[in-house]
Each structure stands twice: as C-alpha cells, then as structure tokens.
A and B are shown apart, each in its own frame.
Chain A
C-alpha cells in the first residue's frame, strides 16, 4: 500500500504539470513546454514566502500565484503572440526557449543547490490502509483531484470555458463567432501560471526547490498528457496518476532500470489502440 500511495503522490506531481499543459492547450492550441518550469518557479517563490519572508501559507500562495501568473503572461506576450499567424508551430521552439530562460534566471538567483521548503502543516507520517504517506503528499493528491474536477466543470458548463474549447477546436470559426481568440490565449497562459504558483507550496516539500525540477518532471508529465489524451483534463489527471503508479510499482517489484521502458511500452500500446489517448477526442471535418 505504501508503494501505491507513493505512486499516487508522484503521479499527482505529473498530473499537475499535465493539467497545466492541457489548460494552455485547450484554450490556445499551444503546447507549453515551459509549464513544468513554471511549477519550478512556484516552488522557489514558495521558498521565498515560507523561508525568506516567513509569510503565512495564504500569503505565500498568493505571492507565488501572482508571480507565476505574471511570468506566464510575459511568456505569452514574448514567446507566443509575436508568432500569431506567422510560422506554423514555431511556438514549440519558443516555449522551450522560455523554459530555458526561466530556469536560467532561477539558477542565477537561487543557485543550483536544492532548498528545503518546510510544509506548513503537520509532518507526522499518516497510515492509510496500512500504507505510509506524509500529509503534504496527501494534500497534493487531493488538490490535484479537486483542481481537475473544478476545471473540467468550468470548461464544460461555463460560457468562458466553452469559448476556450471552441478556440482550441477551430480558431477561425471561433473568431467568426465573436470570440476574442487573443484574450483566450492570454487567459490560458495566466491560468497555467496560476496553477503552477498554487502548486509550488504543495510540491516543494516533496521535491525541494531545485532549479532543474522542470527538466526532471516535464518529460514524464508529457507522457501523462499523451496517455490521457490531448484536450482532456480528466485524462491528464488519470494519466498522471497512472504514470506515477506504474513508475513506483515497477521500481518496487521489477526494478528501477525497467521504469522508463515500461512507461513507453504502455504509452505505445495505448496509442496504438487509442490514437487519441485514453480520453482524447478525434474530430472530423467535412471539406
């Protein structure tokens, strides 16, 4: 059971980044490679709030959220908007550049040594169904589930959410319908940044604030994204948890050398059987 809980805990981190990928992708049609680095920034801002400024958790979350949102907006303005209507898929390069730049600035400011960010609550280990888990991991798991459901409902039932999905499906048609496509893109990057900021204080007690966290997590979170299917928030969440559980169970019972190969085999099998991922939708257009 401890291995399963550990898998859920690691999976929550992957799911969180994958949800960030989805939020930006759904609303703007862009895959933001810098999302995991924004989560890294969130952990450092949590460090500043908790350790440097001794702020309470609420103020720390607000500060980290504001900081990551601003950086997300700057990324949209500098790395995405200038490309609008120009070169197809050039943002694949510019978002990687944004990630490298953010990571470089983080390293310049805070260095490369991992920094501890103490959890604001109890650190006593909990026992659940015989398995051991620390409270911060449990809260991260719950947070990811709640966030995923809340965003799913928002996209499915709110006008603003539906407008975002419309933009993702067909930007031209959405614009003809009066949807401000540019604003959707801004909102998407702001939301991605905000999620990273809120997450920082929950992720950091497990991973520390460490400058290369984005490199470590980004690729595995992409597997979660692909596994769940592009455009599906619940898919990203389930994909993240599935990847985390597979990783930890394989490491426990097969061997850590087989973790990555197992993940890619599972991904390949699922994509062979379901090319759009577990929850992705295929769309048909009549021409």
Chain B
C-alpha cells in the first residue's frame, strides 16, 4: 500500500518527501550578504524556528524538516543556477523560498513550475502565474482600507487628507491603493511626491501645509521616512500624522528626536504592537520563544519574522490537511485551507489563499493604529510613549 502511494507520487512527478524517514527539504535561496542581509537573516531565523516547532510536533506528515540556505547575492542568474543544482541533486527541495526580491523569483519561477516545486516568497507582488507559487506580502488594498478606517475612527472630523509619499515604484503602488480608499470613504486628499533619494522634503511639506489637510499620511521607507517626520517638526507643523506600512517599517525612534514624534502614529499589523508576552496568544508565545532560540535578538520588524514563520506553518497545516507532502496536494490544500481551532500561524487572524489569488489577503481589521514609539522592537499601543 505504502509502495503504491509512493509510486503514485513519483509517477505524478510532484515533489514529495517519499520515504518516511526522508526529510522535508526546505531550500532558502536569497541574498544573505550585502544590504539586504539583516532582513534575510531574520527570515532564515524565523523559518528555522518554525521548522523546530514543526519537527517537535513530528514534522510535516511525518517527515522532519531540513532547512538549507544558499546565498545568491541578489543575482537572478546565481539564484537560478543554485536552484537547478538543488533540483538535480539527491536532496531535491520540497519547498523553496524563492529569492529576496522579485527579480530572483522571476528567474527561478519557470524551473520551479516545470519541476512542480512548491515555493513561497515574502517580497514579491504575488502576481506570478504558477500553481505552485504563493506569497505573503502585505495586500495593499486592504492596508489602504485599514489606514482610512483608522483615520475616520481616530479623527472623525477629518475631511481632507494630505499624503507625503515617495515617487518610486513602491510609493506609486501605495498611492494607487490609497486614492480609491480615501475617495470611497468620502474624504478628499492632496498629494506631494518626492524622490526616495531626497535629503530634505521641506518644500513638499510646505506645499501640503498650505493646503491645510486635517491628517497627514507619511510614507517613506528608510532615511526618507525619517526626513518626512523630522522636516514636519522643523516646520513646526503639528498636523496629526499617520505613518503607513512603508513608514512603519522604519525604526523612527532611532532616527528622529522624541520631540519630532509628537502627534505621529503608525498603521501597523496587529502582531507588531507590543503586549507583554504573557498576554499574547499561545501560538505567538511559541513563535517568540522558538525564534529567540534561533538567533541572538530581534533586529528587524517583528512582522518580517512572523510572516516567514507563517510561510512554513501554512505549508505544515496544508500538508496535514492534505495528508500528503506532494506539492500538488499541498498547493491544493493551501487554496482551500480550513482554518483550524488552534491556529499555528501568528500574523493574521485568518490565513490562506484562493485558487485565483496566491497572495494572502490580510483582513483590514488586522491592522491597528499604533504609537511611533517602540519597545523590544515592537510598536507601543496607540497613544503610548
């Protein structure tokens, strides 16, 4: 019977951990050196944490998880070469974390699809047309809705929104998601964009200030995010300001003086808001302890860890529901994931995909307004200092 099932899996050509004592191979091909090394290391740390938790529970459908990371230096050619080597080797991967950026993912995708290898990613747009490719980035329309909802709830008299945002590809995508959400909520808006390489955004903020918005949305990833907040303070502008997903990725208290953060709050994913560990869910406590055991400390946004952790947890859950490690069966289960009573994942209240959309849609209610101040790398609750 077992031999028959194994034969079926092999004949279907799907990547599965066939022998009961064979490991479930997870291959992470990503840029582990250079400027993206810290977030990549965070992803590896959290993936290993998830593997240790799952292995403690008996593994994926009885197969212990073996995690291997390979540095592709963010080079798509290297990424593809490493993937091809792994696919033709003895330890064929059951699951691939395909790249730090979309460029690497795109290079690997044809091979992954051809070999029916399950793959996950955090950074990409998730629009790749592959039955075996899944992604957990922030779903921008829901994030925009959450942001507008937060504004309406916290500032009910607000009528006009100012938006200070970078004009790079990411900023443009964000802006495109904000415009319909703001209009739908019956609000008006004014926008000022600027280069993400600017070192001063005083003029753009002056223009916004002259338009007299009731609330300002600040959006900038990296140093530019700090410049927006700092220049707002230098102008003496006290308009209530909400940092969006890009802005909340920054460690603002480490970048600007505390006085510049007066009146500034952030839209944040629920798990990134600080609570004493004892008040967190059991799944989060497990995540936290397991991840801490894999590395010295949390150096990146906590959501980066939780999303990576959830990547593997979702595959674990899907394999459990499919009673199989075959990529086809797991992919099918991911598209029709039954939400368990005890959820092993920690980022969103519900997780999973649909046959049409392999990008996870985080519920808008899973975003909350939080303080710009942090504790242990997590945002404090709204209004806290």
Interface residue ranges, A against B (CB under 8 Å):
2-3, 6, 9-10, 13, 104, 107, 111-116, 118, 123, 125, 132-134, 206-208, 210-213, 215-217, 248-249, 251-253, 256-257, 259-260
Contact = CB atoms under 8 A, between A and B. Distances in A.
Contacts of A116: 226, 254-257
Contacts of B257: 116, 118, 123
Interface size class, chain B:
20 to 34
Nearest to B300: A113
30 contacts: A2-B206, A2-B235, A6-B200, A9-B200, A10-B200, A107-B35, A112-B35, A112-B36, A114-B250, A115-B255, A116-B254, A116-B255, A116-B257, A123-B259, A132-B234, A134-B234, A210-B222, A210-B223, A211-B35, A215-B197, A216-B197, A216-B199, A248-B200, A248-B202, A249-B203, A251-B201, A251-B204, A252-B207, A256-B198, A259-B195
Contacts of B192: 256
A57 B193 CA distance: 36
Q: Which residue, of A3, A248, A256, has the highest number of chain B Cβ atoms within 10 A? A: A256
B38 A112 contact: yes
B286 interface: no
A133 B16 CA distance: 63
Interface string B230-272: 0000111000000000000011001111010000000000000
Nearest to B35: A112
B34 interface: yes
B167 interface: yes
A259 B257 CA distance: 29
A208 B227 CA distance: 9
Given A249-B203, A256-B198, 9 more contacts: A6-B200, A10-B199, A13-B199, A112-B36, A114-B254, A123-B257, A207-B199, A213-B223, A248-B202
A1 B251 CA distance: 31
Contacts, number: 89
A123 B256 CA distance: 11
B139 interface: no
Contact of B223 (A3, A207, A248, A252): A207
Contacts of B382: none
Contact of A114 (B193, B203, B255): B255
B236 A125 contact: yes
A114 B222 contact: yes
Nearest to A9: B200
Nearest to A250: B203
Interface in B95-142: none
B298 interface: no
Contact of B199 (A107, A115, A217): A217
Given A132-B236, A216-B197, A256-B195, A115 B254 contact: yes
B194 interface: yes
Nearest to B207: A252
A104 B34 contact: yes
Contacts of B254: 113-116
A114 B223 contact: yes
Contacts of A123: 257, 259
A13 B197 CA distance: 14
Q: Which residue, of A3, A116, A212, A259, has the highest number of chain B Cβ atoms within 10 A? A: A116
A13 B200 CA distance: 11
B250 to A, nearest CB: 8
Contacts of B199: 10, 13, 206-207, 213, 216-217
A63 B213 CA distance: 45
A104 B255 CA distance: 21
A249 to B, nearest CB: 7
For the complex of A and B, list the 10 residue pairs with the smallest distance between their C-beta atoms, beginning with the closest. Answer: A252-B203, A251-B203, A6-B202, A114-B223, A216-B197, A112-B35, A210-B223, A256-B194, A10-B200, A248-B203
Contacts of B198: 256
B221 to A, nearest CB: 10
B204 A132 contact: no
Contacts of A259: 195
Nearest to A51: B254
A249 B202 CA distance: 10
A107 B204 contact: no
A134 B200 CA distance: 13
Contacts of A6: 200, 202-203
A2 B206 CA distance: 9
Nearest to A111: B38
A107 B33 CA distance: 10
